[in-house]
Amino acid sequence: MNNSYIGILVNNETFRTIPSGRTGFEHLPFYEEAGKEYGIIPCFLRLQDIVPGERTVRAYVKNKSNHYVKKLVPVPKVIHNRAIFRTVPHNKKIQQLIDGGIIIFNKRNRYSKLEIHELLSQKSEFLPHLPMTMKANQKNILQMLKRCDSLIVKPERGGLGNGVMLINKMEDGYLWTFRNRKTGKYNRTLFGKELPKELARLLSKRPYLVQERISLATFQGNPFDLRVSVQMNGSGRWQVTGMVGKVASDGNYVTNIAMGGKAYPLDILLKKNNLNKAKVYKAVENFSIRAAKRLSAQIEGLSDLGFDIGLTGEGFPMFIECNARDHRITFKNAKLESVWRATHTTPMGYASFLLKNVKG
């Protein structure tokens, strides 16, 4: 398999910064290490540079002097998609390349959170792990408030905790809490039988979902959840590559690092909650692999997922949402260097597995 290229598909911004080494969430040295381990050569390319039917493409490849240079290489037979494409023409081009014989895994990595929830809820085995979730509108929110004391309202698409809102049941009505993106401050509004006009306006602008707020385990008085990396490996099987805790900042209701949350090794959080490490790890791993198998059976090309999973006070895993392009950086933030490395190298092992099968 010497001189076999594996493509890493990136967006323009990442592509431009490759020569400087400041590539944000993508840590290129780990891809290079995996290349040596599996006897493959990573090359970094953009969708716009691949021409259907052409045999070569200009991509960044590391030279003998350890510098990245643009080089004309054979179009890789296997490509790992780390870019985000939101337009129909982009997605059509990816499908055209696949139809032409190129394997592109994680070809689509943006999904409606409601779509993912519904795919899992169709199988009874997942129902105990799923908080009540519905499309957000006035009727559904008020209906769920009759059954739940606390709700999370969030955009169906998007991440990093942006746009996540909280509604709590109070003695004299309901309290809506949301973060003002301009000021960064939290606004609170009491309401009764009708949603506040500003909330109704937000719901009319883009699709949101409303979800039962899970009573999460806490650390130093703040709720935490887990980011679980679930990936296809060099044997073509799903594995849990790592788990890491995300703790909300003081007084906050979201755990996202971008919103002030902090990453911790899961062991520390479990110990503080007197939870059995082996039991929790096994429960989360079992659920995550079953969920990944279910989703990949319904969505073609899934291979690299980041699940957000909450734990109840008893350590029972509750599914929050799925990220189909995990930033992986949370593991670095928690100083889990070996796991952070593995989240990059495991997909390269899977790429090597696919390439071997292509070559027969």
Confidence of residue 180 (pLDDT cuts 50, 70, 90): confident
- Residue 139, pLDDT above cutoff 90: yes
Domain ranges in the chain are 5-109, 122-127+216-355, 132-212
> Encoding tokens for residue 311?
């734990």
Residue in 7, 5, 1 with CA at minimum distance from that of residue 94 = 7
Q: Are the C-beta atoms of 130 and 316 separated by less than 8 Å?
A: no
Q: Are the C-beta atoms of 227 and 308 separated by less than 8 Å?
A: yes
Neighbours of 147 (CB within 10 A): 9
pTM: 0.93
Neighbours of 281 (CB within 10 A): 16
Measure the CA–CA gap between 246 and 264, rounded to whole angstroms: 6
CATH number of 5-109: 3.40.50
Cα dist. 25→11, 18, 338 in Å?
Answer: 12, 12, 16
> Encoding tokens for residue 77?
């037979």
* pLDDT at 339 (0 to 100): 98
Average pLDDT over residues 151-166: 84
Tell me which amino acid residue 10 is: V
Q: Compute the C-alpha angle 242/339/13, nearest 5°.
A: 105
* pLDDT at 260 (0 to 100): 82
Q: Compute the C-alpha angle 164/165/169, nearest 5°.
A: 150
Where is pLDDT greater, at 85 or 238? 238
Q: What is the pLDDT of residues 317-348, one digit of tens each?
A: 999 999 888 889 999 999 999 999 999 999 99
Q: Are the C-beta atoms of 243 and 289 separated by less than 8 Å?
A: no
Burial of 347 by CB count in 10 Å (0-12 exposed, 13-18 middle, 19+ buried)? Answer: buried
DSSP 129: G
Confidence of residue 262 (pLDDT cuts 50, 70, 90): very high
- Residue 253, pLDDT above cutoff 60: yes
Q: What is the pLDDT of residues 29-82, one digit of tens each?
A: 999 999 999 999 999 999 999 999 899 999 999 999 999 999 999 999 999 999
Q: Are the C-beta atoms of 244 and 226 separated by less than 8 Å?
A: yes
Quickly list H helices, the chain. 12-17, 28-38, 88-99, 113-121, 138-145, 197-205, 266-272, 277-298, 329-333, 337-359
3-class secondary structure, 71: strand
Q: Which fold has domain 122-127+216-355?
A: D-amino Acid Aminotransferase; Chain A, domain 1 (3.30.470)
Measure the CA–CA gap between 242 and 240, rounded to whole angstroms: 6
Q: How far apart are the first and last CA of the chain?
A: 12
